[in-house]
Amino acid sequence: MSDPGWHRHPVRVYWEDTDASGIVFYANYLKFTERGRTEWLRRLGVDQSRLLAETGNAFVVRHVSVGYRAPARLDDQLEVQSRLAEMRPASLTLEQRILRGEQVLVQSSVQLACIDRKGRPQRLPEQVKHALSVAGTDSFPPQS
């Protein structure tokens, strides 16, 4: 699925990701999508460690909804795809999906809230808003 605007992050399924039957344990899909979101932000130039150090702001998951369509198994090569669905003054919502080849295994929507060091909601910093403004309008350039 080469739809424009999706960031792609490869993930291999390891033994530690599976249950006793060799199928990915359901909660580990959330770990895969977290990695995909982190790499999506990094690709946009948003380094979360630097953001916290410079602004005192961080992203936390406020809401997530996940639909499981088919299982991934030990040694599968997966792709986590992420894109911006909505940007609000203090939060953003991403659509994410996990694929094995062309087959969509998992679809999710996650709302991230921007907070300060005390856990209070904060407006998105200008540099983050600027970086995210390109995410919804263009596809990502090839990764090196």
Catalytic positions, written as ranges: 19
Give the residue carrying structure tokens 């490869």: 10
Cβ neighbours of 138 (radius 10 Å): 10
Rounded to an integer, what distance in angstroms lies between the CA atom of residue 90 and that of residue 127? 13
Which residues, in sequence order, are CB contacts of 16 under 8 Å at separation 6+? Answer: none
Rounded to an integer, what distance in angstroms lies between the CA atom of residue 86 and that of residue 74? 34
Are residues 92 and 111 in contact, defined by beta-carbon separation less than 8 angstroms? yes
3-state helix, strand, coil in the chain (%, to 5): 25, 40, 35
- β-strand pairing of 7-12 with 77-88: antiparallel
